[in-house]
Amino acid sequence: MKKLFAGMLMLGTVAFASAQTITFNTVNLDYGTVKPNADGNRTFIVKNTGDKPLVISRVQPSCGCTTPDWSKEPIMPGKTGEIKVHYDTAGLGEFQKSIDVYSNDPVNGRSVIFIKGKVDPNASEVAAANANEKSAVAPNKKSTKKNATKK
């Protein structure tokens, strides 16, 4: 009986060790302060740090003002994909939105990423340009659901 249990435990460990793993370049994108109707497009980079293909099955924003588009093809081990997010910058004021990302990662089947910023008619063009540049070159950090708890 002990051998059977030990064998099952070992098999479970091997199955868990060889899996697809979702990581993000960042889980928080800050638009900064932008003018109304400014470019609301930003991109999250998704990397498969596992050893099996990663499939993003669904990306669900917290409201209708945010529209996602993502890599529908499997992301092979070591490769990257994108989650493009469009926030409707027509409304004035601060915003903070969450976006649920569903994948076949056995540990983080649901991850949460966030966008935030402020739409202000008095925003400078420089601030808007810096926000676009910042999101394009976000650092490559490993993040999981544990780091991205819903606020």
The pTM of the full predicted model, rounded to 2 decimals, is 0.73
Task: Report the greatest alpha carbon distance in the chain.
Answer: 72
Rounded to 5 degrees, what angle do the CA atoms 35, 36, 38 make?
70
The single-letter DSSP state of residue 121 is T
The rounded distance, in Å, linking the Cα atoms of 63 and 26 is 21
Q: How many CB atoms lie within 10 A of CB 113?
A: 23
Distances in whole angstroms, Cα of residue 42 to Cα of each of 45, 87, 113: 10, 8, 12
**Tens digit of pLDDT for each residue in 67-97?**
999 989 999 999 999 999 999 999 999 999 9
Structure-token pair, residue 53: 């293909």
Does the pLDDT of residue 130 top 70, yes or no? no
Q: Is the dihedral of CA 142, 147, 150, 151 positive or negative?
A: negative
Q: Specify the amino acid at residue 22.
A: I
